[in-house]
């Protein structure tokens, strides 16, 4: 779903809540990202409710990825125990975030999380959150650079695939 650019702050909160109720957490993240970018560029801080919605969105997106990882890893271990190498090989072809592009998304999300924290922290906490942001974005960038080779299905990291990707956030 494309997120409209022209919603009010209240409308983004409403849409994020709606996405949460529908358990569409990726969309919830998008709505909250638009809200954060819009409100912080206007110089205002996030409310407690907005921070909570942001946290819920990212926790649920990451939580589902972690759950999928655990399930596939468990199946792999069972197949290894049964000495069924054919099934082990098939399970290992499953994308569990093991390729650089998938893992880079997790680092980008982590960077976003720390960036949002930095927007309302002060002093040393703000500096620490900003440093954590840069470390996460740098890790995402390094993973993506490993995929530049077009023959391996990579892409040119100098041309971000989406608005707000790690290249544009520096």
- Whether 12 and 35 have beta carbons less than 8 Å apart is answered as yes
Q: Is residue 136 part of a domain?
A: yes
Q: What is the pTM of this model?
A: 0.50
Confirm if 45 and 24 have CB atoms less than 8 A apart: no
Residues 77-100: tens digit of each pLDDT: 888 899 888 888 887 776 555 555
Q: How many domains does the chain have?
A: 1
The answer to whether residue 112 is domain-embedded is: yes
Inter-residue contact 44 to 81 (CB < 8 Å):
no
Residue with the bigger pLDDT between 56 and 170: it is 56
The answer as to whether 159 is a domain residue is: no
The whole-angstrom separation of Cα 72 and Cα 13 is 34
Question: What pLDDT does residue 65 have?
Answer: 75
Whether 120 is in a domain gets the answer: yes
Cα–Cα dist 89/7, whole Å: 47
More confident: 110 or 133: 133
Full domain range(s) for residue 103 = 99-147
Q: Concatenated DSSP letters for 61-94?
A: HHHHHHHHHHHHHHHHHHHHHTT-HHHHHHHHTS
- Digit-coded pLDDT (tens) for 142-167: 877 765 543 345 444 444 444 444 44
**Looking at the domain assignment, is residue 138 inside a domain?**
yes
């Amino acid at each position: 779903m494309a997120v409209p650019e022209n919603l009010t702050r209240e409308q983004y909160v409403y849409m994020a809540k709606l996405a949460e109720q529908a358990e569409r957490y990726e969309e919830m993240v998008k709505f909250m990202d638009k809200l954060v970018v819009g409100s912080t560029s206007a110089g205002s801080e996030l409310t407690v409710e907005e921070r909570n919605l942001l946290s819920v969105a990212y926790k649920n997106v990451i939580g589902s990825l972690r759950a999928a990882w655990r399930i596939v890893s468990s199946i792999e271990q069972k197949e290894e125990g049964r000495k069924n190498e054919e099934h082990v090989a098939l399970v290992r072809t499953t994308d569990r975030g093991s390729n650089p592009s998938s893992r880079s998304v997790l680092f980008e999300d982590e960077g976003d999380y720390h960036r949002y924290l930095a927007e309302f922290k002060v002093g040393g906490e703000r500096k620490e959150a900003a440093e954590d942001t840069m470390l996460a974005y740098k890790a995402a960038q390094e993973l993506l650079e490993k995929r530049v080779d077009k023959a391996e299905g990579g892409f040119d990291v100098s041309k971000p695939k989406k608005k707000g990707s790690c290249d544009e956030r520096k």
